[in-house]
């Protein structure tokens, strides 16, 4: 192993009921490529078993910030915790989620350094040069992070989450954070649960039936919804569909909608513009149904059927029903 | 009465393939149209709504070349009441530079008697996707900031702000004015300009400002395009006759219930 270039890298870990979120585990995996000690920061209550899980990902120190200031989310208070945990870390990272990017932006301001959002590659470690996604993921920007502390978020799916070859027993280090009143000026005062059918189901779906302008209008979705039903899938749509008001925004897939990575994405009447592609390109298998054999969605897909979705989708539905009975 | 400043950015309207300039430092936009990000369309809509609801003003600001007046005029046609062009080469400005230039305008306007209760920005620009201009601006102005806002309502000296929570629900903030908010698409439908709106917009003078501080730059070394993957697509057939082959595939993939 080459000598460590960075003394330590601090990862802000986001958690859900199951422990570190998948994107946080991706980030922990990603930063092992920096060949440095991996420290984690957990804010608020960590789910039980979290420390062991972080050990499996090679974390040597778990900083823990808890107390009244963290009972409801305030980005500035979280950033105060990150700054308090930095110590001798020369790299600070988080997953490129809305929360990760927000907290890191605060951290970069507090430390007076550059921040790079949505990094997918480390090009060199001395000096630290990273590549980040720009233009909705269709291009990469190479950027040098030469300030004292390098702050960057790691894009979703930049790597697969993988446990470390040798697990560690992390030292848990409770930290005292000086949270000022100003840090709590913008604090969550209340949360409301999402509608049962909000994008949560779409993001987790194993199969997504995608629909674009080719659906033809708000009343053009009956067959597509039937296919969705038959495949126990979720419906995802292009931006054209939501901006024309044919379907609600929470169904939008893409750069400004949800990012999905199902086993199968059936793109019906969707051209495959980069901003849509940004949201579904990590689907395992892509099947395009399109009248245009040269549409980017068709040429980039694994499988395609050429023709009018209003003829093809009902035929597929019928075939599915026939084989089932 | 609330005065709102809404910040937008002129970006290339990318439909299909992207190509880069010879030095690989920018997108070759010579044959492309220009637009603003969908997030910013929503920020403009919210700014206009707040101004209308409170009898206040909505000033639209951009930092960019003189061509960006096109985007300012569009926002004026929608109902913004004033416009500011900070004329500069946007590519030479990093997110910290942009925030500093906006803060300077806010301070200068304040000194001249117009203060802004709300500064709205897009959550992230569709080209650079930096996710930080709004947060940096809030530090420079010492104001609270909420990012990823979908809807808001001002009452008195406070603003009720809503955005998505990580678990798919809604987070509600109650923030004292003045504040900085960055807006994400999805909460409001941007309006379309009317013909009278366009006529009115032509008559509004755009204030031109030259930034005073030297930009540190974005730290960009170059842009890279991912290598083109040769098409691997397997065409299962044409028209409804392909249904059988599709269902075979669905069975092979194990996705048929
Ligand atoms: C900053 C920014 C963010 C964006 N974010 C998103 C985003 O999150 N998600 C998103 O989707 N887009 C997004 N867009 C918009 C994106 O650029 C495209 O405009 C959009 O994805 C196109 O949608 P579409 O494919 O449905 O429509 P079109 O581009 O109009 O394509 C329709 C396709 O359907 C095919 N078709 C037509 N009729 C039929 C038929 N009867 N049967 C079969 N095929 C048919 C056509 O051949 C064509 O390929 C964004 C744009 C910008 C600038």
**Which residue among A149, A184, A219 closes a domain?**
A184
Q: Residue B164: which of A97, A59, A300 has the closest Cα?
A: A97
Q: How many C-beta neighbours within 10 Å does residue B176 have?
A: 13
Q: Which of B234, B240, B245 is nearest residue A311 as measured by Cβ atoms? A: B240
Is residue A199 a part of any domain in this protein? no
Q: Strand pairing partners for A237? A: A211, A252
Q: Do A264 and A158 belong to one domain?
A: no
Q: Closest Cα to atom 50, ligand 1: which residue?
A: A275
Contact A194 B128 (CB under 8 A): no
Residues in chain A: 325
Q: Do A232 and A165 belong to one domain?
A: no
**Does an H or E element contain B73, and which?**
helix B69-78
Q: What is the ipTM of this complex?
A: 0.94
**Which residue among A123, A151, A184 closes a domain?**
A184
Q: What is the pLDDT along chain B (257 residues), one digit of tens a residue?
A: 999 999 999 999 886 678 999 999 999 999 999 999 999 999 999 999 999 999 999 999 999 999 999 999 999 999 999 999 999 999 999 999 999 999 999 999 999 999 999 999 999 998 999 999 999 999 999 999 999 999 999 999 999 999 988 887 899 999 999 999 999 998 898 999 999 999 999 999 999 999 998 999 999 999 999 877 788 999 999 999 999 999 999 999 999 86
CA end-to-end distance (rounded Å), chain A: 60
- Cβ neighbours of B191 in A, within 8 Å: none
DSSP class of residue A301?
S
- Domains held by chain A: number: 2
In which domain, by residue range, is A72 found? Answer: 8-184
Which of B42, B173, B249 is the best mutation test for A, with the most CBs of A within 10 A?
A: B173
Q: Do A230 and A295 belong to one domain?
A: yes
Q: Which of B168, B170, B241 is nearest residue A199 as measured by Cβ atoms? A: B168
The alpha-carbon gap from B38 to the nearest alpha carbon of chain A, in Å, equals: 8
What tens digit of pLDDT does each residue of A272-308 get? 988 899 899 989 999 999 999 999 999 999 999 999 9
At residue A302, what are phi and psi to the nearest 5 degrees? -80, -40
Is residue A196 a part of any domain in this protein? no
Residue of A133, A212, A251 best suited for mutating to test ligand 1, as the one with most atoms within 8 Å of CB: A212
Q: Do A131 and A62 belong to one domain?
A: yes
**Which are the contacts of B172, defined by CB distance < 8 A and separation ≥ 6?**
A188, A189, A190, A191, A192, B160, B161, B162
Q: Do A174 and A271 belong to one domain?
A: no
Sequence spans of domains, chain B: 4-209
Tell me: domain B4-209, CATH 3.40.50.620, correct? yes
Q: Residue B124: which of A27, A278, A199, A256 has the closest Cα?
A: A256
Is residue A198 a part of any domain in this protein? no
Q: Residue holding tokens 């849509």? A: A276
Q: Return the CATH number at A32.
A: 3.40.50.620
- Cβ neighbours of B236 in A, within 8 Å: 287, 303-305
Is residue A239 a part of any domain in this protein? yes
Is residue A220 a part of any domain in this protein? yes
Q: How many C-beta neighbours within 10 Å does residue B180 have?
A: 30
Cα–Cα separations (whole angstroms), residue A64 to A40, A67, A75, A104, B59: 8, 10, 16, 17, 43
Q: Do A215 and A179 belong to one domain?
A: no
């Amino acid at each position: 192993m080459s000598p460590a270039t960075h003394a330590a890298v601090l990862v802000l870990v986001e958690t859900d009921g199951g422990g570190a979120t998948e994107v946080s585990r991706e980030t922990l995996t990603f930063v092992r490529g920096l060949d440095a000690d991996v420290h984690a920061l957990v804010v608020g209550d960590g789910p039980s078993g979290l420390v062991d899980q972080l050990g499996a990902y090679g974390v040597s120190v778990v900083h823990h910030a808890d107390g009244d200031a963290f009972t409801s989310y305030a980005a500035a208070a979280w950033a105060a915790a990150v700054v308090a945990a930095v110590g001798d870390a020369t790299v600070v990272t988080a997953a490129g989620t809305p929360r990760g990017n927000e907290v890191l932006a605060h951290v970069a301001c507090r430390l007076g350094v550059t921040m790079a959002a949505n990094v997918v590659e480390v090009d060199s470690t001395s000096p630290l040069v990273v590549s980040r996604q720009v233009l909705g993921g269709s291009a990469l920007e190479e950027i040098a992070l030469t300030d004292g502390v390098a702050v960057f978020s790691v894009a979703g799916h930049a790597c697969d989450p993988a446990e470390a070859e040798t697990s560690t027993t992390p030292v848990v280090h409770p930290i005292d954070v000086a949270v000022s009143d100003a840090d709590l000026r913008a604090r969550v005062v209340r949360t409301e649960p999402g509608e049962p059918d909000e994008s949560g189901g779409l993001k987790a779906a194993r199969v997504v039936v995608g629909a674009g302008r080719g659906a033809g209008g708000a009343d053009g979705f009956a067959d597509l919804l039937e296919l969705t039903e038959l495949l126990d899938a979720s419906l995802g749509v292009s931006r054209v569909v939501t901006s024309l008001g044919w379907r609600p925004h929470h169904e939008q897939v893409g750069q400004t909608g949800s990012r999905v990575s199902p086993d199968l994405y059936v793109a019906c009447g969707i051209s495959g513009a980069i901003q849509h592609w940004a949201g579904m390109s990590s689907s395992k298998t892509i099947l395009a149904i399109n009248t245009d054999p040269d549409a980017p969605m068709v040429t980039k897909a694994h499988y395609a059927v050429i023709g009018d979705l209003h003829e093809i989708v009902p035929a597929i539905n019928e075939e599915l029903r026939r084989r089932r009975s | 009465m609330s005065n709102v400043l809404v910040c937008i950015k002129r970006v290339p309207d990318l439909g299909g393939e992207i190509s880069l300039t010879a030095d690989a430092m920018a997108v070759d936009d010579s044959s492309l149209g220009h637009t603003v990000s969908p997030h910013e369309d929503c920020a403009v809509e919210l700014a206009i709504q707040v101004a209308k609801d409170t009898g206040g003003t909505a000033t639209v600001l951009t930092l960019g070349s003189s061509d960006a007046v096109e985007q300012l005029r569009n926002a004026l046609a929608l109902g913004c009441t004033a416009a500011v062009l900070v004329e500069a080469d946007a590519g030479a400005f990093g997110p910290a530079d942009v925030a500093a230039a906006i803060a300077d305008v806010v301070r200068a306007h304040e000194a001249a008697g117009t203060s802004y209760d709300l500064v709205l920005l897009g959550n992230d620009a569709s080209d650079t996707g930096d996710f930080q201009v709004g947060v940096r601006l809030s530090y420079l102005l010492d104001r609270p900031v909420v990012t990823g806002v979908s809807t808001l309502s001002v009452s008195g000296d406070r603003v009720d702000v809503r955005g998505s929570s990580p678990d798919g629900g809604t987070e509600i903030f109650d923030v004292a004015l003045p504040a900085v908010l960055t807006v994400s698409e999805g909460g409001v439908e941007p309006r379309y300009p009317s013909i009278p709106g366009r006529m009115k917009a032509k008559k509004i003078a755009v204030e031109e400002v030259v930034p005073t501080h030297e930009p540190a730059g974005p730290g960009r070394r170059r842009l890279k395009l991912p290598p083109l993957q040769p098409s691997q697509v397997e065409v299962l057939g044409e028209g409804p006759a392909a249904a059988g082959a599709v269902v075979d595939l669905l069975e092979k993939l194990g996705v048929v219930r």
